[in-house]
Amino acid sequence: MTQETLNPFHIVQRQIKEAVDALGVEPAAYEILKQPMRFLEVSIPVRMDDGSLKVFTGYRSQHNDALGPTKGGIRYHPGVFADEVKALSMWMTFKCSLLGLPYGGGKGAIACNPKEMSKGELERLSRGFIRAIAQIVGPEKDIPAPDVYTNPQIMAWMVDEFSQLRGYNNFGLMTGKPLIIGGSVGRSEATGRGCVIVALEAARVLGLPVQGARVVVQGFGNAGSVAARLMHEAGARVIAVNDSKGGAYNPDGLDPVAVNEYKARTGTVKGAPGTRDISNADLLALECDILIPAALENQITSQNAGQVKAKIVSEAANGPTTPEGDEILAGRGILVIPDILASAGGVTVSYFEWVQNLQSFYWTEEEVNARLEQMMKRSFSAVYRMHQEKKVPMRQAAFMVAVDRVVQAMRVRGWLG
The residues that are catalytic are 107
Q: What is the DSSP letter of 5?
A: P
DSSP-based three-state secondary structure for 299: coil
Give me the residues paired with residue 249 across strands.
240, 276
- CA distances for 333 relative to 205, 327, 392, angstroms: 14, 10, 12
CA angle 67, 32, 297 (to 5 degrees): 80
Task: Report which of 160, 289, 283 is spatially closest to residue 214, judged by C-alpha positions.
Answer: 289
Residue 236, Cα to own-chain centre: how many angstroms? 23
Distance CA 215, CA 316 (A): 13
- CA distances for 7 relative to 4, 80, 283, 324, angstroms: 9, 12, 24, 12
Pairing of strands 53-64, 104-110: antiparallel
Q: What is the DSSP letter of 373?
A: H
Q: Residues in the chain, how many?
A: 417
Distance CA 43, CA 86 (A): 18
